């Protein structure tokens, strides 16, 4: 049975999709079978982050409605074994997916993978409630600023009230220079602010933007700080003990 992990955030623009992509790629690189599901209905971008632009013919709603089988809708990655994308519906006509339909979809995914990573839209609401109903764990992505952290704390309470008790914090776009100058929240304060146990930090890395624009997964750039951070987080997700990465101040 697959471990279902939703990747959430309180506000938009935290880098949630890049992290979903990076962790999914790294879990597959560790030898696990991974399905990464784009849960951002209407505004999907996970295919771009994975370098699978325009590859998805069907989406998960097609599977729910019986217009395609799960096998037809899953997009295998060209260069990463054991990694498949299940795309979200795209456009302005947003489907109304019930908890029962989502549960049936996830049950079918359960049979073919070890980890199902669900890239959520930002914030809270009925759709996040539906995703929470099928999730075992959550990774909360926030940036080191008060608005992002406050919203992450609210989203944590929302998820916990819906039965997702295993929630971990990923602090993204960390810039030590700003923290040292008191222009960004430090890591300890971020943990206290959100009430969420830390699972990883990801430094500000221009490679992420460059790769997104080229449709090139960041993890292929093995020495980039973001790729190293994603690998460390993936190892912690599967239970390995990995120390926090030190980020040289001169690089960010």
Give mean pLDDT, residues 33-52.
Answer: 92
pLDDT digits (tens, 9 = 90+) for 46-72: 999 998 988 899 999 999 999 999 999
pLDDT computed for residue 181 by the predictor: 46
**pLDDT tops 90 at residue 96:** no
Percent of all residues in the chain with a pLDDT value above 70, rounded to a whole number: 87
Give mean pLDDT, residues 124-144.
Answer: 96
**Among all chains, which residue has been given the structure tokens 């926090």?**
244
Q: What is the DSSP string of 57-68?
A: SS-HHHHHHTSS
**Among all chains, which residue has been given the structure tokens 């790729």?**
227
pLDDT tier for residue 43 given thresholds of 50, 70 and 90? confident
pLDDT computed for residue 252 by the predictor: 47
**pLDDT tops 60 at residue 128:** yes
Helix (H) or strand (E) holding 237: helix 225-237
Backbone angles phi, psi at 250, to 5 degrees: -75, -10
Rg (CA), the chain: 17
Helix (H, G, I), strand (E, B) or coil at 55: coil
How confident is the prediction for the chain on average, in pLDDT? 89
pLDDT computed for residue 29 by the predictor: 93
Higher pLDDT, 245 or 250: 245
Q: Return the CATH superfamily for domain 6-241.
A: P-loop containing nucleotide triphosphate hydrolases (3.40.50.300)
Helix (H) or strand (E) holding 201: strand 197-203
What's the Cα-to-Cα distance from 69 to each of 66, 134, 204, rounded to whole Å? Answer: 7, 20, 39
């Amino acid at each position: 049975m697959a471990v279902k992990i939703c990747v959430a955030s309180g506000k938009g623009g935290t880098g949630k999709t890049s992290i979903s992509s990076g962790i999914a790629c790294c879990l597959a690189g560790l030898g696990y079978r991974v399905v990464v599901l784009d849960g951002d209905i209407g505004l999907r971008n996970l295919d771009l982050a994975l370098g699978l632009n325009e590859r998805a013919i069907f989406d998960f709603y097609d599977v729910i409605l019986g217009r395609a089988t799960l096998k037809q809708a899953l997009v295998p990655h060209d260069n990463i074994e054991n990694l498949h994308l299940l795309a979200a519906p795209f456009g302005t006509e947003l489907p109304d997916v019930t908890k029962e339909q989502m549960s049936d979809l996830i049950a079918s995914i359960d049979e073919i993978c070890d980890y199902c990573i669900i890239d959520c839209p930002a914030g809270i609401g009925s759709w996040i409630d539906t995703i929470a109903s099928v999730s075992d764990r959550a990774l909360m992505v926030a940036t080191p600023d008060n608005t992002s952290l406050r919203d992450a704390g609210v989203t944590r309470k929302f998820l916990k009230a819906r039965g997702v008790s295993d929630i971990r914090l990923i602090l993204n776009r960390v810039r030590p220079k700003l923290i040292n100058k008191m222009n960004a929240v430090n890591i300890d304060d971020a943990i206290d602010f959100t009430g969420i146990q830390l699972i990883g930090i990801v430094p500000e890395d221009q490679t992420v933007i460059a790769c997104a624009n080229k449709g090139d997964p960041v993890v292929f750039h093995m020495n980039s700080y973001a790729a190293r951070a994603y690998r460390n987080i993936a190892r912690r997700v599967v239970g390995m003990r990995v120390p926090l990465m030190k980020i040289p101040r001169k690089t960010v």
